[in-house]
Structure 1
Amino acid sequence: MTKYTLEEISASLGRNSNIVESWFEELETKLGHFIETEDGKKVYDDYDLKIILYVSEKRDERWSFEDIFSKLGEIFSLQSIPPSTKDDTAPPEEKTLNEWGRDPETLFYEIAQDNDVIQIFKYHSLRVMFLSSMLAKRVDCYDEDVRVASMLHDIGKMGISKNILFKSEKLTELEFTIIQSHSHVGNVIVRKHLGMTRAAKFIRDHHERWDGTGYPRRLLGDEITLQGRIISICDAFDTMTIDQRNYMKTVLSNDEAFSELRKCSWTQFDGNLVNLFIDMMGEVTIPEYLIEEP
C-alpha cells in the first residue's frame, strides 16, 4: 500500500497542510481514526487519502462537520467516540482551533450568521473568493491560502459601524482611518485564530496600491504579494458590477468595469493581472447561487 506524507496528502487536495492535519486530528478525536506512525512521524495510506478526500469534497459543498462525520461512519465504517470519553477539562486557551470548530469556512459562516456587517458582505466575499481562485489558477498560484484569504478579506469589517461603512457622504479623516483598519484586523484574526500566517498577509495587502499610496503599509509595486494584488482586482470588480452597498454608486456593466480597471492599471492595480482578469472574464461566469438580490 502506498505511503504518503502530510504534505503529499495536502498537495493532492490543494489545501493548506495545517487545515488537513486539523481534519485528521478531528477524525481521531471524534471517530477514533488513528494515523500510523513510523520513526515518530505520521504516515498516511490510501485509505486515509480516501477518507480525507471525502471530507475535503464535502467541505467544498459546505457540509457541516457533524453531517460529514455522520456520513463517514456509514461509508468507511468509522464509529463515533462517545462524548464522555473526550477530555473537556482543558482550559479554553489549551483547546485547539479545530475543537472550537474554527476552520475557515466555519468561522466565516458563523460570523456571517451572527454579525450584521459580515452578513451584508457575505455573497460579495464568496464571489471575490470565486473570482480570485479562478485568476490565481491562471497565474499558477492557487492554493488553500488564496482561497481562505479571498473569502475572509473583509472579515476585519465586523467591528466597524454600519453608519461608517455605508455612509453616502464623504468620510471624515477619522472615519476613513477606521475603514482602513479592517485590513489589519482581518490579518490579525486569520493569523491568530486560524494560524494561517501566509493567508493573513494576503488579506493585509488587498488594499495596497501599485503606486505605493495604498494601505496599511504603503507597499510599492511587487512589494505587494501577488495574491493580495489578485484579491484587490476581484474585490474592485465585484464592487463595481454587483455589490454597490458600500459605495452607493450605480452598478456598472462588465465592459464599464473593465474600462475602470484599465484606467487604474499601474496606479492602483497590477496592469498585467488586469489584462489576465479581463481575458479570463470572457470565459468565466459567476454562478447564479453566488448572486444575491440586494
Structure 2
Amino acid sequence: MNFEIIPAHDLSLAAQAATFTEAFDGYVGGSFAMDAAGLGRFISLQGAHLCHSRFARNAEGLCGFGYIGRIGESSRLAGMGVVASARRGGVARGLLLHLLEEARARHDRLMVLEVIEQNPPACALYRREGFREMGTLCGWRRPAPAGEPAKAGRSGALEEISLAAASQLPTAQEFPELPWAICRHAVAKMAAGRAYSSGRAVVVIGDPAVAGPLRVHALASTETGAPDWVAMKEALAAMLALHHAREFFAPPVFPEEFGTKLFAPLGFAREPLSQFLMQREP
C-alpha cells in the first residue's frame, strides 16, 4: 500500500476542504468548490464525525477521504472521494476496508451509504465489497406555474412547528431504513427551514424567504407502523398550495415509493440523476 490512512481530526479543515474540492472536480453529481467554512457546514449537515472519519495520504499529499457518521450501532459513509491523480491505485478500496474494519471494532451492526447510480466505478466498488442495494433514490421537480404569479393558496390543516419539534416526532420510517438526508436526525441538523405538521404527517422545506426553488427536505408519517401515504400526500399538497407560485424540488434522496405515491401524482417530474441506497454488515 503506497499510502497511509490518518484521522481527519489531525488535519485542518482548510486542508480537508482542498482535498474535497479536488476529488469532486468534474463529478457526475456536480463539482464542489469547498472552503473550510463550507466543509464545516457539510460535516454538520451530514452528521459526520471527525473522530471516525479518515484521509489517505501518499507521497504527493492528501489523496482521498471517507467521512463517517454514526447513530447507535449504524455507521454511514457520508462522503467519499479520491483525487484524480490517485485513482485506480487502490486508495478508495483501502479507505473503505479500513473504515469497515473500524466499524467492526466499534461493534457496529451496519454500514450504509448512498451512491449515484450514474457513477459505475463507485457502484462496482461497493458491490465488490459486499454492499447490497436496498432501493433506488430519486429526485423530483415541480415547476412554478406559467404566467402571472399566483396568490398564495390556503395552507389547509398545516400547523407550523419548530425544526426541533419536527426532529423529535416518531415516524413510521427511521434511519437506517430511511435515507439519512430525509430522516428526522437530518432535520435536527438544518440551519434554516420551515416545518409543518398536518394530521398524521410532517413536511419540512427550505426557507421560503430565500429566492429560487423550494427544497423538500423531509416528508414523513408521524405514526408508528405502516406509512400513512394519504396523510403525507395531503400535507405535501397543502404545502404546494401555500407556496403556489414557487418551483419545488426534491433531491435524489427519496425512495421510489415516494415518487409513485406522492410526487408524481402532484405534478412533479423525475430528475435525471438517481442514487442507490446500499448497506452491509461490517
Same fold (TM over 0.5): no
Q: Normalised by the size of structure 2, how large is the TM-score?
A: 0.29
Higher helix share: 1
Q: Which has the higher strand share?
A: 2
TM-score, normalised via structure 1 length: 0.28
